Amino acid sequence: MMTERLKEGVVELPGYGVNSRPVTVVCSRILYWNLIDYNGNYGTEIHLDNGASIVVAMWPKDVESLVTEDD
């Protein structure tokens, strides 16, 4: 989950599901993320500060590496 500082700015992540489009996320709006598994199709659900959630076709660790600061 979130143990590091979030990056400033936005990231583009691959959408989840057939015919999905890339998703742009403002990093500072992210509260937390978690693994999802729908019928063996893994991805990550990202929860935002406005109550919305976004589902992307990436492993949680990969999402973490894109949205957190490098030390």
- Residue 50 in any domain: the answer is yes
Q: How many domains does the chain have?
A: 1
**pLDDT level of residue 3 (50, 70, 90 thresholds):** low
- Start-to-end CA span in the chain (Å): 17
Residues 40-61: tens digit of each pLDDT: 999 999 999 999 999 999 999 9
What is the phi-psi region of residue 51: left when phi exceeds 0, alpha when psi lies from -120 to 50, beta otherwise? left
In a domain, 56, yes or no: yes
CB 30 within 8 A of CB 5: no
In this predicted structure, the answer to whether residue 2 has a pLDDT above a threshold of 70 is no
Q: Is residue 57 part of a domain?
A: yes
In a domain, 4, yes or no: no
Mean pLDDT of the chain: 91
Contact 27, 46 (CB under 8 A): no
**Residue 52, domain member (yes or no):** yes
Residue 37 sits in which domain range? 10-67
- For residue 36, is it within any domain? yes
Residue 3 resides in a domain: no
Residue 2 belongs to some domain of the structure: no
